[in-house]
A = this chain, B = another copy of it.
Amino acid sequence: MTEAKNPLAEVRERIDSIDRQIQELISERARWAQEVARVKGEGLSAIDYYRPEREAHVLRMVVDRNKGPLSDAEMVRLFREIMSSCLAQEEPLKVGYLGPEGTFSEQAVRKHFGHAAYGLPLGSIEEVFQEVAAGHADFGVVPVENSGQGMIQVTLDMFLTSDARICGEVELRVHQCLHSQSGRLEDIKRVYAHAQSLQQCKTWLRVNLPDAERIAVGSNAEAARLARHADDAGAIAGETAGKVYGLKTVAKAIEDRADNTTRFLVIGRSLFPPSGNDRTSLLITVNDKPGALYDVLSPFARHGVSMNRIESRPAHTGKWQYAFFIDVSGHIDDEPLQAALRDMGPVATQVRVLGSYPVALP
């Protein structure tokens, strides 16, 4: 007895066959990951064979190959999780971050290490550095820059006194919107948001809602929830949150700087080899005399090394010294960067390589 198949059943058979193949391949991949552990020595924890440069390389190939329909970010996310599972077969990575659970910092941990790693919510950025230094955590994830508010000083200052190495960076992008029940600006007498979001949008609020009360709440999700039940309240939250809570969007991208990215650093105890597309963070200390900054920077220009960021801090080492945090393109093993650092020798009192690490993926 034959029966005409419905098109849905046929599609599902195709998907079943694809799933069977995917599963065989993931299992095979997991076996080869065990082989990596065996080649490097039996009975090791994940930290012994985790290679950030290798992961970045793999994920970059994933992006290069991706032709959709899934977005690059979604495909990268799936491969992160597959790698995370393969790596966690022995002893998973332990990753410290600024807790509690559910924060932006935990999102950054999961984006970078996947969900098979152990997350350690800690009480402060200082504690993240301490736990990594003491070996209680294999890696730490700390916020270092918010494009609305600039560098996060407490993180930079930790590098002045700790031996932490930077092994990676993670970027989370969030556009802040103003949402409300009616979607009309003139109805809004109160604005709910997380304190940081209120801060990030203060110019827009001053100009457009000078008389509205600003109320800091635990999270932007909480803000959106409160705004749903009030006809005179607005909430600052991401585009998704507004949609999810069924609010109308009053205004988009209201943050003071339009490109609202939070950047996190992955800190560890070692330097890693090049991944092919790297960034290097340097801590350079100079005596405070005229022309010192120029003398420090000119070797980069001379050797064609492009600078991405620079931030100066009073050094802890001496009263008249300044420390510069400088991010440049390339790996510390690259010849132009080596040459620039050689030229800098006589000028700088200290040059410390904080880390060379893969540029953040989508």
Contacts and interface: CB of A to CB of B under 8 A. Distances in A.
Contact of A22 (B22, B240, B245): B22
Given A32-B18, A118-B240, A26 B81 contact: no
A32 B61 contact: no
Contacts of A21: 21, 25
Interface string A55-81: 000100110011111100011011101
B15 A33 contact: yes
A182 B11 CA distance: 58
A193 to B, nearest CB: 15
A74 B28 CA distance: 14
B32 A14 contact: yes
A103 B33 CA distance: 32
A318 interface: no
A99 B99 CA distance: 16
A25 B25 contact: yes
A281 to B, nearest CB: 27
Contacts of A136: 245-246
Contacts of A67: 27
A303 interface: no
Contacts of A30: 68-70
Given A106-B102, A221-B101, A225-B123, A8 B36 contact: yes
A7 B89 CA distance: 20
A127 B34 CA distance: 46
For chain A, the bracket of interface size reads 35 or more
Contacts of A100: 102, 218-219, 221-222
A358 to B, nearest CB: 16
A260 interface: no
Given A15-B33, A61-B16, A240-B118, A27 B77 contact: no
B69 A89 contact: yes
A74 B69 contact: no
Interface string A29-41: 1111111100110
A54 B8 CA distance: 12
A68 B23 CA distance: 10
Interface in A89-117: 89, 94, 99-103, 106, 110, 115-116
Contacts of A243: 118
Contacts of A106: 102
A342 interface: no
B219 A66 contact: no
A85 interface: yes
Most buried by B among A27, A40, A100, A244: A244
A122 interface: yes
Contacts of A16: 58, 61
A123 B110 CA distance: 25
A18 B22 contact: no
A211 to B, nearest CB: 28
Given A26-B70, A100-B219, A244 B65 contact: no
5 contacts: A15-B58, A19-B62, A27-B69, A70-B85, A78-B81
